[in-house]
Amino acid sequence: MNKSISTERKKYLKAIKKRNYLVLLTQILILVVFLGLWEILARQNIIDSFIMSQPSRILDTFMNLTSNDLLKHIGVTVYETIIGFLLGTILGIIIAIILWWSDFLSKVAEPYLVVLNSLPKVALRTSHYYLGRCRNSCNYRNGNSYIFNCNYIRKFKWFYEN
């Protein structure tokens, strides 16, 4: 096999490479002009920097966040997301296998699964008061119903207050 490339092919590849560099350079130039114009307009009070902020303030905020263990917090969030996804997937697979093997349990669970499937997923979320940290005093307002009462966290019960 002959591995030599014709001069026309070399010119074509060089033109493609030149075009790709030109596209990248234009994209970078547009970004720099956009950020520069944004910064200038915010400093001249032509745009409201409280609403639109400005690139230098965003960079300062980001640098302050990185000095306050931002990467550690991102790592914890990613870890919790992966663990939650894996636990949910494994639990879902186990429940699916059990329902597939047992015709009786499948028939018993069917109406409940149909109702759960028809609910909007937002309606299935639990109260945010009792996820994560539990404060010393609880906030019961507007007749909300909670599974856990912070004052009696060891007693599993429904708590209603109107």
pLDDT tens digits, one per residue of 124-150: 665 555 555 444 444 444 444 444 444
Sole residue written with tokens 């997923």: 121
User: What would the mean pLDDT of 81-91 be, rounded to a whole number?
Assistant: 96
For 44, the token pair is 């001249």
User: Among candidates 97, 118, 115, 117, which has minimal Cα distance to 106?
Assistant: 97
Task: Give strand pairing partners of 160.
Answer: 145
Alpha-carbon gap, residue 58 to 55, rounded angstroms:
5
pTM: 0.43
At 42 the three-state DSSP class reads: helix
pLDDT of 133 reads 47
User: Which H or E run contains 108?
Assistant: helix 103-118
